[in-house]
Amino acid sequence: MSYVANEMKRLMGKAIWNFQMIQDGDRILVAVSGGQDSLSLLWLLRDRLKRIPITYNLIAVHVDLGFEQDTGKRMEDFFYGNGFEYHIIESRFGPRAHGKENRENPCFLCSRLKRKAIFEKAAELECNKIAFGHQKDDFIETFFLNLFFAGSIDTIQPVQELFNGKLFIIRPLFLLNEGIIKRYADEMGFSEVDSGCPTAGSSKRAQIRSLLSSLYQTNRKIKGNIFNALQGIVTNRYDLA
């Protein structure tokens, strides 16, 4: 087993253990966008079952945004070919969010519609948890998105309770850098499934990512410093370095 695979398993396991993300008997909907993060998460959550004394059910769910890229069929081939239980949600969320009446912020509407569909599918499948593939870079980028564009000091959480405890969102890749996830996905042969979104490279998140990337190149400690500084917002349960 490679160093990259070991590090992925170690840090994901650490996040799950420290935040008690998963308990015996959980039914977990894994939201798989087609990106390398979510593909890696799905694979690692199943692989983890071989090494732990509890069991849980995984159901992969992909939302086809309707950009005529046939992502639903491509994800179905991946799920079926690798023996995952899965559901494909066909939609027109992408074109609707990019319609004439919503040109100012298509990402917000698309994300909201997709999240609502995932919540509804979780209820239908009687899942008590939803796992997203957000990683360390997403936590940092979301903080700056909220700061610059919403005027708030906040970011996504490793564990988020909803509906009075009936549903929990978990993010097991919380401690992992995007770079190591990409290396792992490349090793495993997980090809990213492009949704075909016309604004993917020019979104506000892409602008933040570009800005942060420039800063990171000047000092390799900057990302870790930012992440540590977010402890008060994210959690103070343990050192996130």
List of residues 6+ apart from 46 with CB closer than 8 A = 58, 84
Domain coordinates in residue numbering, the chain: 3-234
Specify the DSSP class assigned to residue 147. Answer: I
Cβ 40 vs Cβ 48: under 8 Å: no
Phi, psi angle pair for 157, to nearest 5°: -115, 150
pLDDT at site 115: 95
Regions of the chain with pLDDT less than 50: 236-241
pLDDT at site 14: 96
Query: What is 3-234's CATH topology?
Result: Rossmann fold (3.40.50)
Phi, psi angle pair for 83, to nearest 5°: 75, 30
Cβ 107 vs Cβ 203: under 8 Å: yes
pLDDT digits (tens, 9 = 90+) for 101-132: 766 678 888 889 999 999 999 999 999 999 99
CA–CA gap between residue 202 and residue 208 (Å, rounded) = 10
Length of the chain: 241
Cβ 34 vs Cβ 195: under 8 Å: yes
pLDDT at site 13: 97
pLDDT at site 79: 98
227: tokens are 């992440």
Question: What are 61's strand-pairing partners?
Answer: 31, 87
pLDDT at site 108: 82
pLDDT digits (tens, 9 = 90+) for 6-36: 999 999 999 999 999 999 999 999 999 999 9
pLDDT at site 241: 40
Q: What is the 3-state secondary structure (H, E, C) of 29-70?
A: EEECCCCHHHHHHHHHHHHHCCCCCCCCEEEEEEEECCCCCC
Q: What is the dihedral of CA 6, 11, 14, 18, to 10 degrees?
A: -170
pLDDT at site 240: 42
pLDDT at site 1: 76
